[in-house]
Structure 1
């Protein structure tokens, strides 16, 4: 563009280029502490006034409210870059250099390389910086100072978080499934009566030997909300698509829940750390560096139940194509090193399978010996042991049947009852309010638009309340419904184990804590070599049974 125009007798008059100005404003939580001077409204007034005084046409305003200066992935900033590439703007104005960012390398690249290469003039009003001015050498030093401010703020925040973590204060954005943040202390967790019912039920199923995939299937059949969807349901401002791609329970979700020590009343934090305050990348810290603080809130699960579930956790993977399922997974353990026994062999029949120490299978003799155990033999030994324990007279069967019925006469959970009563009370209030709303509309006390908005809001709350009530009432059957199922329980168990294929992981979960398998030994008897192997069965409801001299 010709910058000069002849005007009369040799007189030269300067013509200002036509600038299309982009006003960029940014405010982070850290900057908010600086006071009113950094607020978006103040930035807008300052930039608009500056543009008008200098005759710059304002193309568009770009606002990133609540974004850190160390993060350059900001929605309004990205839009500004797209408009620059489309040649929609040729002038960028900010309050100061720190509004661009607090990373001196990135900010320097923008002011020294990117803007000049795109023909963009850049002005930072308060810093007196103008890229068209020859007196702008102070900019790199300003950028360094801005980064030092961000670095210092990051250290203070990190130090504050570390103090809270060591004290056991919960610092997560959202409470884990089964809990909610205490309204009086956001760093303390209290039981969520709705979700806690589901958590306890999942642990109960897992304790009985149910595979995570089967648990997920049962939850999906009952249309129970996943943790992510449950979180979004109570917060309309959250987009479920941003939190979960699959809107259903999976074995991975169940496994993650079953391994979370938060349900023991523990707070486990400090699992990850950021590479740098300027980078969003994180790395996972070794388990020994995690911060574990016990007894910080009410536990949902006892330590005994949690440990049993972890010991007998079933693989998340689908059963192999052979169709063989190891029912002793999580029950059979090496009697020497304590590792789980692993199945080996091919085919779907028990005859072709053996159990071997997991340590030996992974690392060989330097870890443990093989502890080979014929799978079919162990199956029949355990089945016969359970059969012998369940051989009773008719009078004993009747007495035990009554005892088994008793635990199912469970009293109503007071926490669930309180939550249900509160929800029902709110539902009645909303019904009355909706009734009065219709009266006000008929009498023309409120307008159509306001009526529709209020009705939609209250109807939505009523639907959410009814869903919550259904969630409280549906997971567990009432005591009256349980009684018929409990009646004849012992007879059903006896019928089940009388079959040749009567053993299952569910049945083992009802009776057996663990099975220890020891290394076999050979002895000479009458010129013949005999193999002996010790098996110890630990029962859940009975005393531990040990038969060290019994061959298997």
Structure 2
């Protein structure tokens, strides 16, 4: 607003918005914040039968990255409820394929895989800890190196921009540069610098989060000990153990005998959970749906 006395608000362009993170002490942990964001990201209104999809915000198409949506209705038997790629629904077969998967099959595969990994974490915590830390560290080291190199380049460019803007100002004061020319050049450099500072802040947060790997692994082990009996997949179980599920198309499209391949990402990976992951490790599980 132009003044605290005026009620009218002026919309600011996204490129002019500056975000300053970690300037105050956190009220809640970063992990809890991420869980809440995950909940609201996938939240949908209850359907006509009053139910909300528990997998909303967790299940994605492995090929196009779109969310997958549950199809159910009064005329559909519960055992025939199914998930379908959102990209296929909205953009058609030229964009992606259906990725049809029954909800009951998804529940069965996810529950079976959760029981396996939580059993390992519960009964062999040291072995689980070593495997999780080893795989997490390999991925973290690679990303840390890339992030630090990028951060170094940005900081160097930021210092160069400081010098450029200072020289422009000196030229303006000495009269070697007109006011209009100075304003035009300075605005461009200042815009680049503000965008760079925002990117530097994001990189700093990423590097900080990479140090949380051990905490996430230990939390996963504690949650595994607290959830000995898992009779079904509930929203609470999903929030505790899973960050993302990717569904691949069947090897034979529209086949009634061939199941889908799933890639399950667990919550004890502290770094980028949405990056493409092509090989199975202990923090991700490939599972084949039953035929």
Q: Highest relative contact order (Cα 8 Å, sep 6+), 1 or 2?
A: 2
Larger strand percent? 1
Larger helix percent? 2
Taking structure 2 as the reference length, the TM-score comes to: 0.49
